[in-house]
């Protein structure tokens, strides 16, 4: 290990690094993307790919990101590694390092670890995604943005690939989930061999050339700049780090001339940001009734729910004129327009189909969308019927089903995750319980399961792209009955998401500066307390998570001395006021929001002085 290199960080199982033995998951090339996704979002580990046939390497070379040969020192030069890592974190792409074999164990990789260039923290997703780690990688003098302007995308993946199959060093299992792709050349189910398998992963889904500048120009109403970027080949639905498109940004600001042109070029009026807020939602929040009319006439769906609050555009409309525009619209027109758009998209997709594998990939995408739609609507019978049909087809053809209940939408959510988010209790019951009785009367070997069992086998701990598991989603949305079912099926409420929050954290009451309860979450917390008691553990009794035994809020740390908290608060309010004056504030409906100078907040902060002083006095008594 070179001078100044970092040591391998210990796994959180004690003071020593503990090896975890395990057999690799053996998958075909077509299953590799799903296997990688499972490693990252379900197991919370990076993929370690064993690739004896070279198929996986061929595929991964053409993915977004960097593909390095670890055995060639110039490829692993520290300044090059730093630049590539910064780029991959910023763009949410893959950083892959390949070796023929690991003759010297994991040291072949760790010898290149060095703080500020290629930190050892890259082995653990939570650590490398933390600002305290990646901030040290940025070099403004080399063209990197300042820390406050840099964002890390959750789709970033670090992986290691080796060619030779053999015994792996124990440390590999600590930090990686091991996948083996093939072991001998495998013919594709469609008969086209390796080329068909690779094309299946590229052919049906449209590849976007993304531009964040295009999104910003939408916000600013710079139509000529948008047209110039589209002429250069950038996608009309380019996204920024939060999933905003140019149409969404323009809608938040009422830039109708931009919206009219974007819609004429095929921009999606129902493409939502990472909080599932549609362009119409953002226009309604800001009271742009003219924009609402344009969107409705283009097929915008007024029924799309915000992910966090479950609100529709009508619910957040700023004024009566906006509510009337949404409420009086004939929804049958929306359904007809959406169907028309769906047919146009299908036609474009079918034009790109060249192989049987492409056709199968397209079918999988469409079926997944149907399953997700049925889940969100709570169509239990329709969902059950379609999943059974998938199982029956797999049984007849003796091939893997096109998809299962573990199918994921574009945000990495499984059907169980969606059912939990939208409070569809009957769907949750179906996904958790159907498999328990579906094999009655069948004669199966020990450990063998029917296709129906496998199609209905939902993972109670699946995680979406931001790391939210099912228990955390249920807790956040206050779904008591659903949370109880998830916990009974092995759901883990201690798993942290990318914001370092677990179900336990979301169960805490929301308090104000004087320690008064603003939002009471005792009901949902009672489910976790009940579960905790059944486990015979002490998660709540220790106060580690801020929850006392019986679900009460645990005692807080003593308040700071009189004046200290207020001084800090006033300083923060002054900074906030300065930002607002420069137009840097961000709101629910738009990114830049005009407002006051922050004087009102300063006055409120000063008024809290007496409240905090009284609270301190009580503490001293």
Domains with residue ranges and CATH for the chain: 25-186 (3.40.50), 212-341 (1.25.40.20), 356-551 (1.25.40.20), 564-620 (no CATH)
Distance CA 502, CA 308 (A): 16
Distance CA 433, CA 380 (A): 13
- State the pLDDT at residue 46: 92
CB-CB contact of 455 with 399 (8 Å): no
Cα 379 to Cα 41, 137, 326, 428: the distances in Å are 27, 48, 26, 11
**Dihedral sign of CA atoms 20, 25, 29, 30 in order:** negative
- Collapsing DSSP to helix, strand or coil, 232 comes out as coil
Distance CA 240, CA 267 (A): 15
Q: Residue 169's closest CA among 22, 304, 54, 37?
A: 22
DSSP secondary-structure letter at 42?
Answer: I
134-181 pLDDT per residue, tens = 999 999 888 888 888 888 887 889 999 998 777 777 778 878 889 998
Cα 535 to Cα 350, 540, 542: the distances in Å are 52, 12, 15
- State the pLDDT at residue 399: 81
Mean pLDDT computed over 420-441: 90
- State the pLDDT at residue 195: 37
Average model confidence (pLDDT) across the chain: 77
Which of 127-131, 165-169, 552-556 has the highest average model confidence (pLDDT)?
127-131
pTM confidence score: 0.49
- State the pLDDT at residue 350: 66
Higher pLDDT, 22 or 340: 340
Per-residue pLDDT band for 593 (boundaries 50, 70, 90) equals very low
Strand partners, 181: 27
- Residues in CB range of 415: below 8 A, 6 or more apart: 371, 372, 375, 383, 405, 406, 407, 427, 431, 458
Distance CA 484, CA 428 (A): 11
Higher pLDDT, 555 or 508: 508
Mean pLDDT computed over 116-129: 89
Distance CA 251, CA 425 (A): 34
Distance CA 345, CA 477 (A): 34
Higher pLDDT, 359 or 378: 378
């Amino acid at each position: 290990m070179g001078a100044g290199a970092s040591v391998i960080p210990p796994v959180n199982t004690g003071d020593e690094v503990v090896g975890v033995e395990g057999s690799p998951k053996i998958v075909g090339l077509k299953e590799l993307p799903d296997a990688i996704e499972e490693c990252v979002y379900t197991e919370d580990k990076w993929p370690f790919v064993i690739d004896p046939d070279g198929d996986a390497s061929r595929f991964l070379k053409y993915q977004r990101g960097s593909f390095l040969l670890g055995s060639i020192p110039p490829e692993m030069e520290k300044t090059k590694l730093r630049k590539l890592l910064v780029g991959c974190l910023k763009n949410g792409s893959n950083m892959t390092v390949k070796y023929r074999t690991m003759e010297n164990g994991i040291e072949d990789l760790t010898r290149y670890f060095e703080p500020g260039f290629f930190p050892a923290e890259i082995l653990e997703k939570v650590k490398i995604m933390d600002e305290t780690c990646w901030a040290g990688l940025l070099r403004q003098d080399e063209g990197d943005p300042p820390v406050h302007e840099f964002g890390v995308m959750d789709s970033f993946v670090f992986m290691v690939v080796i060619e030779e199959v053999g015994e792996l060093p124990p440390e590999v299992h600590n930090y990686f989930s091991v996948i083996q792709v093939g072991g001998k050349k495998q013919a594709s189910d469609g008969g086209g061999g390796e080329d068909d398998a690779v094309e299946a992963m590229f052919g049906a889904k449209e590849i976007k050339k993304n531009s964040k500048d295009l999104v910003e120009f939408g916000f600013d109403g710079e139509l000529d700049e948008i047209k110039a970027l589209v002429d250069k080949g950038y996608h009309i639905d380019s996204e920024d780090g939060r999933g905003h498109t140019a149409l969404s940004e323009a809608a938040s600001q009422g830039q109708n001339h931009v919206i009219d042109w974007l819609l004429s070029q095929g921009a999606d009026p129902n493409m939502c940001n990472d909080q599932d807020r549609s362009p119409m939602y953002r226009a309604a929040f800001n009271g742009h009734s003219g924009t609402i009319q344009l969107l409705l006439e283009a097929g915008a769906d007024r029924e799309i729910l915000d992910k966090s609050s479950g609100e529709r555009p009508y619910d957040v409309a700023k004024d009566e004129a906006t509510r009337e525009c949404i409420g009086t619209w004939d929804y049958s027109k929306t359904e007809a327009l959406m169907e028309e758009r769906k047919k146009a998209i299908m036609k474009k997709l079918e034009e790109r189909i060249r192989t049987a594998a492409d056709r199968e990939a397209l079918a999988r995408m469409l079926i997944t969308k149907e399953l997700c739609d049925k889940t969100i609507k709570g169509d239990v019978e329709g969902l059950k019927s379609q999943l059974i049909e998938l199982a029956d087809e797999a049984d007849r053809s003796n091939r893997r089903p096109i998809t299962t209940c573990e199918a994921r939408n574009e945000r990495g959510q499984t059907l169980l995750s969606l059912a939990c988010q939208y409070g569809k209790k009957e769907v949750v019951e179906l996904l958790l319980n159907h498999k328990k009785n579906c094999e009655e009367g069948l004669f199966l070997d020990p450990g063998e399961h029917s296709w129906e069992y496998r199609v209905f086998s939902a993972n109670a701990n699946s995680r979406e792209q931001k790391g939210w598991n099912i228990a955390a989603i249920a807790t956040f949305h206050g779904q008591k009955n659903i949370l109880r079912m998830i916990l009974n099926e092995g759901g883990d409420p201690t798993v942290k998401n990318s914001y370092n929050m677990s179900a336990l954290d979301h169960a805490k009451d929301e308090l104000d500066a004087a320690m008064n309860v603003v939002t009471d979450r005792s009901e949902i917390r009672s489910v976790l307390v009940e579960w905790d008691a059944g486990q015979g553990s002490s998660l709540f009794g220790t106060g580690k998570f801020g929850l006392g035994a019986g679900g009460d809020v645990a005692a807080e740390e003593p308040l700071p001395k009189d004046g200290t908290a207020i001084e800090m608060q006033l300083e923060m309010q002054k900074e906030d006021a300065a930002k607002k004056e420069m137009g840097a504030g961000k709101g629910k409906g738009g990114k830049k929001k005009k407002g006051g100078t922050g004087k009102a907040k300063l006055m409120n902060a000063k008024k809290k002085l007496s409240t905090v002083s009284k609270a301190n006095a009580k503490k001293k008594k």
